[in-house]
Copies of this chain bind each other. A is one copy, B any other.
């Protein structure tokens, strides 16, 4: 008897950058569960039809991926277990015979389009944009369309990643398409919460916190909950709470692990003073750089300080 292979959901369809990210961390025998959108992929973890989901969380050009940030706070709790980065460059692909100068229409996902707009403007200023639901769906559609029926297909192209072009046997018209060749999308592996593991020394913690309403300086106060414990922020994204203009939640990444005292102290401070707080995981940093713990904020510093207070309470002041 064998353990069945685990199912991982992800933002489909197959052949997108998200599948590339999944391949970085999933086991070999993973059963792929491509989902039509991020909420569906995450819900498959919540309802136990998948053990993990891989979804994009941040793009160096377009910013936070709202569907992911908002779903992680709205539904049953999930936690991030790993992060993966995928460089975002595209190929312009078409049917056999289509040349660059033939292309009149280009289809891709709006995020991809946003990252190639400059290139298209320069090389194909006349081309019309056709919005696609992913970077690979238009590739598949183009590949599966009936040749004979529609000659117009020869004037179409798609912007997709190399993997999709290969999977759907499309011809690469131009490679390395990207306005910003350093563009990167960060993906995360998301699981159901369980006992939190041990720190590696090079960890990151993600959380979501809502500011108290209508109080000048609330953001400043919230940030001081981190700074006073020497906890450094590496990402902060504002998201509207959604019930009216002017109220925000902040999605935040900090250096360190929730099993570390200084990070716990910051969480305790936030929990005390903010109306909503959600822990979204402590996990190894992509870059494996050890976190520099500022003087006075190591676990030992906290333990010694607490023990000093206990001594004071018992009259053992020295």
Interface residues of A (CB under 8 A from B): 58-64, 66-67, 77, 79, 85, 114, 131, 133, 180, 182-184, 186, 193-196, 216-217, 219-221, 223-225, 227-229, 232-240, 242-246, 248, 258-259, 264-265, 267-269, 271-273, 277-279, 295-297, 301-302, 304-306, 308-309, 312-318
CB nearest to A63 among chain B residues: B240
Give the residue of B67, B279, B302 whose beta carbon is less than 8 angstroms from that of A312. B279
Give chain B residues whose Cβ lies under 8 Å from the Cβ of A131: 131, 133
Q: Would you call A240 and B196 a contact (CB within 8 A)?
A: no
- Closest Cβ of chain B to A304, distance in Å, is 7
New contact pairs (16) apart from A61-B240, A267-B312, A279-B317, CB-CB < 8 Å: A58-B245, A79-B317, A184-B244, A186-B245, A196-B313, A196-B315, A216-B232, A221-B228, A224-B224, A269-B305, A271-B305, A271-B309, A272-B305, A273-B295, A273-B296, A279-B312
- Shortest Cβ distance from A218 into B: residue: B233
Residues of chain B contacted by A193 (CB below 8 angstroms): 312, 315-317
Interchain CB contact under 8 A, B240 and A62: yes
Q: Which residue of chain B has the shortest Cβ distance to A248 in the bound complex?
A: B236
The list of the 9 closest CB pairs from A to B, nearest first, reads A271-B305, A273-B296, A272-B296, A194-B315, A268-B305, A77-B317, A272-B301, A193-B317, A195-B315
The answer to whether residues A228 and B223 also contact, given A248-B236, A272-B296, A305-B272 and a CB cut-off of 8 A, is no
- In the assembled complex, the Cα of A131 lies from the Cα of B246 at a distance in Å of 28
Some 20 contacts from A to B, beta carbons below 8 A apart, are: A60-B244, A61-B240, A79-B317, A180-B242, A193-B316, A195-B313, A196-B315, A216-B232, A217-B227, A223-B223, A224-B228, A228-B228, A228-B269, A229-B269, A236-B248, A258-B309, A259-B313, A265-B265, A272-B302, A279-B312
A215 to B195, CA, bound (A): 33
- Looking at the assembled complex, report how far the CB atom of A35 sits from the nearest CB atom of chain B, in whole angstroms: 13
A301: which B residues are within 8 A, CB to CB?
A: 271-272
Chain B residues with CB under 8 A of A317: 77, 79, 193, 278-279
Taking the closest CB of chain B, its distance from the CB of A208, in whole angstroms, is: 12
Query: Does B258 lie within 8 Å of A313, measured CB to CB?
Result: yes
Contact A246 B234 (CB under 8 A): yes
Chain B residues, CB < 8 A from A220: 220, 223-224, 227
Bound: A301/B272 CA distance, A: 5
- Please judge, given known A-B contacts A220-B224, A258-B309, A315-B194, whether A243 and B62 are in contact too, CB under 8 Å: no
Say yes or no: A61-B238 contact (C-beta < 8 A), given A313-B196, A315-B195: no
Q: How far is the CB of A68 from chain B (nearest CB, A)?
A: 13
Q: Cβ of A248: which chain B residues have Cβ within 8 Å of it?
A: 236
C-alpha gap A278/B243 in the complex (Å): 29
